[in-house]
Amino acid sequence: MPAFRLEGQLPKPRSLALLAEDIRVAHDLMHELRRGPIVPDRLLAARQTLLMAMESYAAELTARGLPLPRKLHGDLRLQRDISIHSESAG
């Protein structure tokens, strides 16, 4: 079997547990970066990683026909707004 993905073949979805772990790790990194001296570029990169992890988890829930938890919905909205404002300010 070839090591590359065939044209039109979708990647295998990751488990919800692994996607949730991605969110936890990204969230922990955000907290760690906020505790020390603030390095804006690192904080922005961590925030983008957190947003991508949350988006991936939400997309997988939607693909499985599962509801989005209220807390995740609120956190996603917040992170999206921060991302939009960060891009327009920079």
pLDDT given at position 86? 76
Q: How confident is the model at residue 33 (pLDDT cuts 50, 70, 90)?
A: very high
Q: How confident is the model at residue 1 (pLDDT cuts 50, 70, 90)?
A: very low
Give every CB contact of residue 27 below 8 A, 6+ residues apart in sequence: 50
Give every CB contact of residue 64 below 8 A, 6+ residues apart in sequence: 16
Evaluate if residue 5 carries a pLDDT over 80. no
Burial class (CB in 10 A: 0-12, 13-18, 19+), 60: middle
Domain extent listing, the chain: 16-89
pLDDT in tens, 37-90: 989 999 999 999 999 999 999 999 999 999 999 999 999 999 999 888 877 766
